[in-house]
Structure 1
Amino acid sequence: MCAIKLFIIVKIVTEVKELKNLINAFRLNNPKDNIGFIPTMGALHQGHVSLIDAASDLCNFVITSIFVNPTQFNDKKDLERYPRTIEADMEVLANTACDVLFLPTVAEMYPIKDAVYSIDLNGLDQVMEGKFRQGHFDGVCNIVESFFRIIAPDKAFFGIKDFQQVAIIKHMTKVRALKVDVVTCPILRDASGLAMSSRNALLSPQEKESARILNWVLKLGKLLVQEGKPLSEIKENMLALFAQGSLDLEYLEIVDNDTLQAVNSVQPNISACIVAYCGNVRLIDNIQLN
């Protein structure tokens, strides 16, 4: 456990050069200490705070980034709609153990316009999110790899709500031989069970009420697995419950945690992943089934 930190005004850095100088100075003066990193796209909520808390518990110096990454959006309108709340985000960070906020521009992170990024993700990007959001994970890996190379953190913290993204980032880190320990943290939910997400800010109170069904569907799946039901019956019942709500289903998959491939029977190490639209807002959630 690292020493308790006093919450102070977070240092804001906007340029890569300045951030590298800051990190180099920290490494020089604190050779035995480690750095934790939390990449975000802003619109911070308690889920992000939990990642910062986890980083503070395990690391001596905590860096958070806020960068709405254009290359991971395959829908321009989705990029435009994404909430940007930097002043509110600063208030959130002021009450955490974050030491530095990295707040770069698009030009800072992508100095070479239209540069081609390529990585073999071993098929992990061809299912679920990758199937519906072509090129999304190339954009994710591009920016996360850039952050990892700039910051060289000892540990990076991600929420398991983005189940497929976490698996892909772990794979990318291994393929690129980056010495970063990718730490996964549990999903935080509000009182109704809705998984905390930056996109929730786009929901009306009535839509938030409707969105609760995602968690109900996932919990039903877990209960039926515990009762020993066959997979076909489990998925059928989950879909039937979902149909009682008002959301539009994009996909519901039960997959192997390592390969992300859909499974045909209940087996160890599987999760249920669901994505649906609540109005114009795309919501994602998952649950470990066994």
Structure 2
Amino acid sequence: MQVAHRREDVRVMRAGLGTVALVPTMGFLHDGHLSLVELARRHHDAVAVSVFVNPTQFGPGEDLDSYPRDLDHDLGLLEQAGVDLVWVPEVADVYPVGSSTRVRVEGPLTAVLEGGRRPGHFDGVATVVTILLGAIRPDALVIGAKDAQQVVVLRQVVRDLAIGVQVVVGPTWREPDGLAMSSRNVYLTPVQRAAAPVLRRSLTEVEQRYAAGERDAETLRSLVRSGVATQSEGSLEYVSVADPVTLAELDRIGPAGALVSLAADFGRARLLDNVTLPGAGRAPATVR
């Protein structure tokens, strides 16, 4: 496994790898990240992974300084997983002195949900991923479904900027009790950790009611609100039942299906989760 720190080293190491799939991460890796590495390997000659806590996607008062980090452990996992190239840049290598270009997706895609609550967050995400794609020049970008709005935004970036890369989305990877894997789960106290699977249970109830024929979006939102309210350790920040492409909130779910997403606070941990309700003729998304 080759480990690059400087941008120019990435270009040298990338040469000769054949087709490459990139898995961008902020480190503190878990089995969900490794599932994306496995997915990346399936149709490409080589896998590249970036490990970079991107400061431009954190807002004031967020956990940039305390975000969990363990680079030695990450590198060990990636080597064991057979990753070919790892880029571990410093901030100054991603954003050199004088850097003044930012990528912004304007309009409703970034004005709602996470974008509405974390101003500038998706500017940071779109910018850093564009830089990673430009430096590594992969054939595919492999990202996880847990950050659903991020998936929609990055697909828009790739389309709008004519970046010749395939966007591959891996399923949300879960703990045995259903909690979506996240590096921030380490913030949970034991009591909060025991309560947090209520998020998955509430979304599962939504899936079951939808499969039984429920199409009223507010009824499904209410199911999540009442489900999360059964415990006292976490509070629901929002629940959305939206068009899976435009992220516009729905009154009633039609043939296109819906993206049901939520954010909840459990102490220091802000947890995200979602499910996709399939439209006509579509199979449900695979989750573990």
Amino acid aligned to 2:229: A
Residue 253 of structure 2 corresponds to which residue in structure 1?
266
Residue 13 of structure 1 corresponds to which residue in structure 2?
4
CA contact (8 A) 1:121 1:168 kept: no
Deviations 1:255-279 (A, max 9, x none): 1110011111122321110100111
Deviations 1:107-140 (A, max 9, x none): 0000035625143444210110000000000000
* 3-state secondary structure, aligned to 1:124: helix
TM-score, normalised via structure 1 length = 0.91
Residue 79 of structure 1 corresponds to which residue in structure 2?
64
Equivalences for residues 48-197 of structure 1 within 5 A: 48-113=33-98, 115-197=100-182
The CA distance in 2 between the partners of 1:92 and 1:206, in whole Å, is 29
Deviations 1:173-226 (A, max 9, x none): 111111010100100100010001111122222221111011011111111111
* 3-state secondary structure, aligned to 1:81: coil
The CA distance in 2 between the partners of 1:169 and 1:184, in whole Å, is 11
* Alignment counterpart, residue 248 of structure 1, candidates 227, 235, 241: 235
Aligned-CA RMSD value: 1.4
Whether 2:217 is the aligned partner of 1:231: answer: yes
Amino acid aligned to 1:184: V
CA contact (8 A) 1:160 1:166 kept: yes
* Alignment counterpart, residue 23 of structure 1, candidates 8, 11, 14: 14
Count of matched residue positions in the alignment of Structure 1 and Structure 2: 275
Whether 2:20 is the aligned partner of 1:35: answer: yes
Deviations 1:67-99 (A, max 9, x none): 000000013441112111112212211220211
CA contact (8 A) 2:195 2:231 kept: yes
Question: Which portions of structure 1, spanning 4 or more consecutive aligned residues, are displaced by more than 3 angstroms?
Answer: none
The CA distance in 1 between the partners of 2:221 and 2:61, in whole Å, is 33
CA contact (8 A) 1:14 1:102 kept: yes
The CA distance in 2 between the partners of 1:231 and 1:37, in whole Å, is 36
State the identity %.
32
Unaligned runs of 5+ in 2: 279-288
The CA distance in 2 between the partners of 1:179 and 1:18, in whole Å, is 22
Residue 268 of structure 2 corresponds to which residue in structure 1?
280
Unaligned runs of 5+ in 1: 1-9, 28-32
